[in-house]
């Protein structure tokens, strides 16, 4: 419990003072646009280094860990995906 000593530096700042009122539609569109662009660049576009999307890179990595290659015996895809 904080006691009031009369010194304003002793009191903790009110967290509600940091809240800024903003119009809902402009704040939502601005923040969603940032999220959408980061999602597109991180997941949907292939990487320039190897031309693979992250999901394809994970599948190939899992297949390599399971030693699945064209010369090995047949295995169901559930081993890689699941």
Note the pLDDT of residue 57: 92
Contact 54, 44 (CB under 8 A): no
Residues 43-59: tens digit of each pLDDT: 888 888 889 999 899 99
Question: Is 46 within 8 Å of 53 (Cβ atoms)?
Answer: yes
**Percent above pLDDT 90 for the chain:** 7
Helix (H, G, I), strand (E, B) or coil at 66: coil
Q: How many CB atoms lie within 10 A of CB 53?
A: 15
Candidates 67, 71, 43; CA nearest to 57 is 43
Nearest-angstrom CA–CA distance, 76 and 68? 10
């Amino acid at each position: 419990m904080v006691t009031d000593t009369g010194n304003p530096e002793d009191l903790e700042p009110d967290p509600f003072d940091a809240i800024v009122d903003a119009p809902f539609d402009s704040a939502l569109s601005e923040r969603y646009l940032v999220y959408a662009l980061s999602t597109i660049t991180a997941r949907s576009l292939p990487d320039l280094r190897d031309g693979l999307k992250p999901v394809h890179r994970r599948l190939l990595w899992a297949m390599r860990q399971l030693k699945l290659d064209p010369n090995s015996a047949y295995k169901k895809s559930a081993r890689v995906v699941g």
